[in-house]
Amino acid sequence: MALRLLHPCWGGRKLSRRLLDLGHPALAASTITSILHRHSLIDAQASEAATPWQRFEHAAPNDLWQMDFKGHFQTAEGICHALTVLDDHSRFNLGIQACPGQRHATVQARLETIFRRYGLPVRINTDNGPPWGCTRQPGQVTELAIWLIRQGIRLSFSRPYHPQTNGKDERFHRTLKAEVLNGRSFETLNQAQKAFDQWRHIYNHHRPHEALQMATPVTRYLASPRAYSERLPEIEYGPDDTVVTVKWLGELRFRGRRFKLSSPLRGQPVAIRPIPMTDSLFDVFFVHHKLMQIDLRKPETDA
């Protein structure tokens, strides 16, 4: 009863495992659920919210991180945008950051702190909106995406109107809302950050996770062996690549034709790589990230 009052959103399975972890005798989850019902500490809405989800997961920590903003809410100091980063394999939360906005410089500064502590992931998945990217148009990348790509991180994006592609982070947002945000208000961003930090420790170290067979995320997570470098590495391409510098407004010129990339790429070198067995198809890469495909058979207005 005391543990339920401390964590009002935890159901019978989580409470059973947490009590066991704390050294108490094993108690069936169904017994705990009956006690909660008997003392009016659980209702139909809470039962529905506790329904477990089955999701695909990557094989190892840091194979994939999911990143997004948990909407926004008002504080007396201003609007707070909660940036969340979650490891796909372990569900370990790498950071909940109370941000004053969603500008790329704000996100980059928070990610630098996370990268210094946990290293770099192989890939990060986000939705399609700013500041992450704009993948509805080929070749469109943002300043934040350029920085991440130069760090050697591969980027992927959820399909438009399919937030379930980032489903573990979306599910994490439901938990964050239920256990931290509902019924609370904050005077400042700093006060919100303290609440995030306190709950993040509980989430990672104490809260049993049903998708992990009631283990805690920290037991499944290891920091990445890929260390963060404060200095961006030089951009290098292969000997068979045609390297072209992107012009003002993101224009690319190749074989007398002009192609539109992304304005933030201006001044950056990109590689034009022929596709084998063709003489008119070329892939355009920025570092390892494919930007677009050039088809010289198409009229210039359609290229």
CA distance readout (Å), 58 to 151, 159, 220: 21, 19, 12
pLDDT of residue 132: 83
CATH 3.30.420.10 assigned to domain 65-220? The reply is yes
DSSP 135-194: TTSTT-B-HHHHHHHHTT-EEEEPPTT-GGGGHHHHHHHHHHIIIIITT---SSHHHHHH
pLDDT of residue 139: 53
Centroid of chain to Cα 106: 15
Average pLDDT, consecutive stretches of 10 residues, N- to C-terminus, the chain (303 residues): 77 79 81 75 53 61 95 93 96 96 95 98 88 66 94 85 66 92 94 97 94 92 96 94 94 93 94 92 95 89 53
Q: Is the pTM of this model over 0.85?
A: no
Q: Which of 220, 210, 227 is nearest to 61 (CA)?
A: 220
**Count of Cβ atoms closer than 10 Å to residue 130 Cβ:** 13
How many CA atoms lie within 13 Å of 92's alpha carbon, on the beta-carbon side? Answer: 22
CA angle at 225 for the pair 219 and 227, rounded to the nearest 5°: 125
200: DSSP letter: H
Sorted by where each begins, the domain ranges of the chain are 2-49, 65-220, 242-302
